């Protein structure tokens, strides 16, 4: 591996503002410029996003999705959604402990907890299994206080103004 970290920290990107996944992707891209490998596990995402094409053959960044093709609401959660999240967490655990990755991103894991797909305890146990030289990033709105307390760095994206409020939908290349 290129630039193995001497110490990896736990970072959380949360809040109602735009940019949590984008920040994690930016960190992965920056790290790749230093020869570092990143594994990104996207919870609750099965639909197409531009980063999937952009990073498909990237030598330092791996993205896998664990979710439905369509977005769901909290009241629509099924046992299959719970199974997808648990399989995803296990896959991310394997990646984190494989020695192949310097950075592991659990994208939208906080929302997965809020939806009841994963428990706070399961994610805290995941954090406890982090090797000392792996950086761990957890993204998503509504990060539970227990996750915030366990993290070394927490960034809250706060929405001041958003064009969604004027009816603008997610745009290709900008939000998806």
- Give the separation between CA 69 and CA 129, rounded to whole angstroms: 30
Q: In this predicted structure, what is the pLDDT of residue 36? A: 97
Quick one: tokens of 126?
Answer: 């995941």
83-102 pLDDT, tens digit per residue, is 999 999 999 999 999 999 99
Q: In this predicted structure, what is the pLDDT of residue 133? A: 97
The answer to whether residues 153 and 11 touch, using CB atoms and an 8 Å cutoff, is yes
Half-sphere exposure of 149 (CA within 13 A, CB side): 5
DSSP secondary structure of 127-145 = HHT--TT-EEEEE-SS--H
* CATH number for domain 10-166, candidates 1.10.357.10, 3.40.50.300, 3.40.50.170, 1.10.3720.10: 3.40.50.300
- Give the separation between CA 172 and CA 151, rounded to whole angstroms: 32
Domain ranges of the chain: 10-166
Where the chain has pLDDT below 50, the residues are 1
Helix (H) or strand (E) holding 80: helix 79-97
Say which residues have a Cβ less than 8 Å from residue 53's Cβ, sequence separation at least 6: none
Q: In this predicted structure, what is the pLDDT of residue 2? A: 57
Q: In this predicted structure, what is the pLDDT of residue 69? A: 66
Q: In this predicted structure, what is the pLDDT of residue 101? A: 98
- Give the separation between CA 98 and CA 143, rounded to whole angstroms: 26
Half-sphere exposure of 67 (CA within 13 A, CB side): 27
List beta partners, residue 138.
Answer: 12, 106
Nearest to 51 by CA among 40, 36, 37: 40
pTM (two decimals): 0.92
How are beta strands 135-139 and 10-14 bridged, if at all? parallel
């Amino acid at each position: 591996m290129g630039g193995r970290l001497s110490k990896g920290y736990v970072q959380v990107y949360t809040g109602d503002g735009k940019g949590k996944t984008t920040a994690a992707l930016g960190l992965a891209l920056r790290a790749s410029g230093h020869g570092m490998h990143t594994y990104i596990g996207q919870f609750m995402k099965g639909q197409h996003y531009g980063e999937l094409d952009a990073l498909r053959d990237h030598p330092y960044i791996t993205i896998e999705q664990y979710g439905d093709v369509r977005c769901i609401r909290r009241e629509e959660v099924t046992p299959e959604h719970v199974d997808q999240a648990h399989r995803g967490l296990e896959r991310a655990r394997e990646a984190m402990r494989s020695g192949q990755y310097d950075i592991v991103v659990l994208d939208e894991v906080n929302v997965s907890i809020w939806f009841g797909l994963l428990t706070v305890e399961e994610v805290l146990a995941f954090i406890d299994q982090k090797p000392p030289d792996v950086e761990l990033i957890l993204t998503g709105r509504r990060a539970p206080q227990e996750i915030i307390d366990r993290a070394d760095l927490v960034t809250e994206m706060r929405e001041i103004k958003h064009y969604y409020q004027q009816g603008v939908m997610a745009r290709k290349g900008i939000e998806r």
